[in-house]
Chain A
């Protein structure tokens, strides 16, 4: 993308004199700015969505005042945070206190350079994209420890120490789970991983249910691996039920206790950037990235019809069981199905790969994360370690072995 942008810049007569290196630098800067804008806007939107989702789950309404349905609430909040006084505690380690939030933010923003939003829209098509993301995102822990230590506050220190232990131990199962996928593809390039998942095939290779060729349906082991990765990643980005570094009912605010204003906003920004990153990664690695779930436009129509049927049955089932009528899922699927049958153009668009599918999948995963967060209690720090070392790590190792055996059985690889 940077190459394209540089070429495009040079294609103008006025600018062509600047030379290739200057154009490269300029386009690098533009791309970096675009990514940062994406992360910031993403955080603002996600905070709003999270507040609304949590409100609906908790029989509330959420923000309703600023803008229609409170849509501008997070913008107002962000403006407020920017205006707040810049407080550095007197006994804090000033240098680390200032650097900490920026380290976290940079670590989480820079990872987006390797995320392919569509087949062309990506900043850097690296051949070690997955490795790059995994390694860069672990730098976050450095920033957290910096912030916690520099605050000179016992609560912050506890938060930082918990966070360090947690992130490091969850790196391992998460990494091994990703290796299982890499073993299937044989490449760390994210574009290659996505392209491997094109088309449709049978569920688990043999069961005759036509499903997209995504890795989550590749084998039972990868199916489990997807959830293992989701759990591990939830822990890695410090979200409930693994939010012990900032657990507000125990550690006040954990490593963020002493931060306010802009610095606190940076924490928030990076938190949501990390959540988005995890969502993107799950959808890239297991859910086919920017691939459409439907092979062609007939597939779209049939697929949506099936989804609608399931929705109708589900609604009736819920109605029979609890006496309540939930019309929203049914209505939504019905509208899309009718649209898919009436407008072939819509169906074709739905069947074509692109950024829409990427965002839809990532959005679904983020919703899952929110759903977890507003349902579950929080684990204790030793239970967290138990889950990591005794449940998830063995599971991911079994998955890695299982995937290898599965591929040998299905004949994808020969010895």
Chain B
């Protein structure tokens, strides 16, 4: 009997594929259902943000940062504003700091809701996705109240906020938080513990701490591998050192530490931690304070360069800014977390089935706007 001749097939997934989270293209080399090599092809959403930034004044860049990670625009704006403020040495009013933390954490919840929901969608559960988006809409309502926009805010300005929050915002946020815990329990009931979901996610795409660190994976995906690195905790920026919160780590409750289920579950837990931070911030929020008082009239950072990193919902978001003392940066480099997180897909996705590659991709929670920039 002759040898069975088997050929590998190149399967082109994307850029128009339902679960590549945007316009990502994955070149899969498949042996039947088994994927032997994954090559991500990116750049379909490239808008040359960094080159744009070299021709725009500092304040004008803020709306573009939000458009990079459009699922978590507040986080991007927060990091950018803090980077420029650190260059200029601006002291912010307390109220601004608290409000910024509240918005960044609300954005983290909103972003994780999208991540959790779309992960469910990737493994075939449609209903949890809709529940997650229902909650996200409530957060967007809060953002709309404050900033006037639902997705891309341009709300966190260099040195302050665009406007103060309206009356009733704090009460409405409390209201949301009270209802939120119950809904998280609901997601756990319908998705987290679901046996089919566990089978689809647990032990799939295990990312060891070594692999994660080697590839520069950050954020919840890194913490799911058991590495306790959260910039809010290890290198506290803004006023994060004042809050009491846990950093959820992957424990391998359903399988191995660092599998897709852990990456999913760390996000679920982080939503609860963010809610905790928001509660504390709302309790301590100073009533007095002009949110616009520290906004500089001319934004002209002194000559020099800075690398500032903050914890975005997707991981470590860094801004490297070179200034020559003028009102336009010489160079602005964005270290986008999703880019590094995506790069690990070949390492952890090899040898799994096509369905698993989708699940692994979903568990990494990428945003193509940020990867391509």
CB interface residues, B 341-373, toward A, < 8 Å? 353-356, 358
Alpha-carbon distance between A383 and B200 when the two chains are bound, in angstroms: 9
A59 to chain B: closest residue by CB: B134
Q: B123-131, B173-181, B223-231: which one contacts chain A? A: B123-131
B356 to chain A: closest residue by CB: A380
B17 CB contacts on chain A under 8 angstroms: 252
B357 to chain A: closest residue by CB: A250
Q: Tell whether, in the assembled complex, residue B194 and residue A250 are in contact, meaning their CB atoms are under 8 Å apart.
A: no
Q: Tell whether, in the assembled complex, residue B124 and residue A378 are in contact, meaning their CB atoms are under 8 Å apart.
A: yes
Q: Tell whether, in the assembled complex, residue A58 and residue B199 are in contact, meaning their CB atoms are under 8 Å apart.
A: no
Selected from B11, B127, B199, B355, the residue in CB contact (under 8 A) with A247 is: B355
User: Hey, what's the 0/1 contact readout for B197-239 against A, CB within 8 Å counting as 1?
Assistant: 1011000000000000000000000000000000000000000
Q: Tell whether, in the assembled complex, residue B33 and residue A377 are in contact, meaning their CB atoms are under 8 Å apart.
A: no
Q: Which of B12, B17, B125 has the most CB of A within 10 A?
A: B125
Q: Tell whether, in the assembled complex, residue A377 and residue B130 are in contact, meaning their CB atoms are under 8 Å apart.
A: no
Chosen A-B contacts, 20 in total, with CB atoms closer than 8 Å, are A54-B127, A59-B134, A154-B11, A249-B124, A250-B19, A250-B355, A250-B358, A375-B127, A376-B125, A376-B196, A377-B120, A377-B125, A377-B196, A378-B124, A378-B355, A381-B33, A381-B355, A382-B33, A383-B196, A383-B199
Q: Tell whether, in the assembled complex, residue A252 and residue B130 are in contact, meaning their CB atoms are under 8 Å apart.
A: no
Alpha-carbon distance between A241 and B200 when the two chains are bound, in angstroms: 12
Interface residues of B toward A: which range? 20 to 34
In this assembly, does B270 line the interface, its C-beta being within 8 Å of a C-beta of chain A?
Answer: no
A243 to chain B: closest residue by CB: B124
Asked, given contacts A154-B9, A380-B199, whether A60 binds B130 with beta carbons under 8 Å apart, the answer is: yes
Q: Tell whether, in the assembled complex, residue A377 and residue B200 are in contact, meaning their CB atoms are under 8 Å apart.
A: yes
Selected from A54, A252, A377, the residue in CB contact (under 8 A) with B197 is: A377
CB interface residues, A 50-75, toward B, < 8 Å? 54, 57-60
Alpha-carbon distance between A377 and B33 when the two chains are bound, in angstroms: 19
In this assembly, does A119 line the interface, its C-beta being within 8 Å of a C-beta of chain B?
Answer: no
User: Hey, what's the 0/1 contact readout for B98-120 against A, CB within 8 Å counting as 1?
Assistant: 00000000000000000000001
Alpha-carbon distance between A375 and B197 when the two chains are bound, in angstroms: 11
Q: Tell whether, in the assembled complex, residue A381 and residue B126 are in contact, meaning their CB atoms are under 8 Å apart.
A: no
How close is A28's CB to chain B, nearest CB, in angstroms? 42
Q: Tell whether, in the assembled complex, residue A379 and residue B199 are in contact, meaning their CB atoms are under 8 Å apart.
A: yes
Q: Tell whether, in the assembled complex, residue B200 and residue A249 are in contact, meaning their CB atoms are under 8 Å apart.
A: no
Asked, given contacts A249-B121, A377-B123, A377-B124, whether A59 binds B131 with beta carbons under 8 Å apart, the answer is: yes
Q: Which of B121, B124, B125, B356 has the most CB of A within 10 A?
A: B124
CB interface residues, A 348-395, toward B, < 8 Å? 374-383
Alpha-carbon distance between A58 and B11 when the two chains are bound, in angstroms: 33
A243 CB contacts on chain B under 8 angstroms: 124
User: Knowing that A376-B196, A379-B196 are A-B contacts, what are 9 other residue pairs whose CB atoms are under 8 Å apart, sorted by A's residue number?
Assistant: A58-B126, A58-B127, A59-B134, A154-B12, A252-B18, A374-B126, A375-B127, A376-B194, A377-B196
User: Hey, what's the 0/1 contact readout for B290-302 against A, CB within 8 Å counting as 1?
Assistant: 0000000000000
In this assembly, does B191 line the interface, its C-beta being within 8 Å of a C-beta of chain A?
Answer: yes
Binding site for B on A (CB under 8 A): 54, 57-60, 154, 158, 240-241, 243-244, 247-252, 374-383
Alpha-carbon distance between A60 and B126 when the two chains are bound, in angstroms: 13
Q: Tell whether, in the assembled complex, residue B33 and residue A158 are in contact, meaning their CB atoms are under 8 Å apart.
A: yes
In this assembly, does B122 line the interface, its C-beta being within 8 Å of a C-beta of chain A?
Answer: yes
Alpha-carbon distance between A248 and B122 when the two chains are bound, in angstroms: 9
Alpha-carbon distance between A250 and B199 when the two chains are bound, in angstroms: 16
Selected from B9, B11, B131, B194, the residue in CB contact (under 8 A) with A377 is: B194
Please list the 4 inter-chain residue pairs (A to B) with the smallest Cβ-Cβ separation, ordered nearest first.
Answer: A378-B124, A377-B125, A58-B130, A249-B19
B19 CB contacts on chain A under 8 angstroms: 249-250
In this assembly, does B190 line the interface, its C-beta being within 8 Å of a C-beta of chain A?
Answer: yes
Alpha-carbon distance between A266 and B134 when the two chains are bound, in angstroms: 34
Selected from B18, B33, B196, the residue in CB contact (under 8 A) with A249 is: B18
Alpha-carbon distance between A244 and B358 when the two chains are bound, in angstroms: 13
How close is A379's CB to chain B, nearest CB, in angstroms? 6
Asked, given contacts A249-B358, A377-B197, A379-B196, whether A57 binds B127 with beta carbons under 8 Å apart, the answer is: yes
Selected from B9, B121, B353, the residue in CB contact (under 8 A) with A382 is: B353
Q: Tell whether, in the assembled complex, residue A376 and residue B131 are in contact, meaning their CB atoms are under 8 Å apart.
A: no
A382 CB contacts on chain B under 8 angstroms: 33, 353
Alpha-carbon distance between A378 and B362 when the two chains are bound, in angstroms: 14
A240 CB contacts on chain B under 8 angstroms: 124
B197 to chain A: closest residue by CB: A377
Alpha-carbon distance between A252 and B18 when the two chains are bound, in angstroms: 6
A375 CB contacts on chain B under 8 angstroms: 125, 127, 190
Q: Which of A57, A250, A374 has the most CB of B within 10 A?
A: A250
How close is A375's CB to chain B, nearest CB, in angstroms? 6
Alpha-carbon distance between A88 and B127 when the two chains are bound, in angstroms: 34
Alpha-carbon distance between A158 and B31 when the two chains are bound, in angstroms: 12
How close is A244's CB to chain B, nearest CB, in angstroms? 8
How close is A25's CB to chain B, nearest CB, in angstroms? 47
How close is A366's CB to chain B, nearest CB, in angstroms? 18
Alpha-carbon distance between A275 and B200 when the two chains are bound, in angstroms: 25
How close is A381's CB to chain B, nearest CB, in angstroms? 6
Q: Tell whether, in the assembled complex, residue B196 and residue A378 are in contact, meaning their CB atoms are under 8 Å apart.
A: yes
Q: Tell whether, in the assembled complex, residue B127 and residue A250 are in contact, meaning their CB atoms are under 8 Å apart.
A: no
How close is A87's CB to chain B, nearest CB, in angstroms? 17
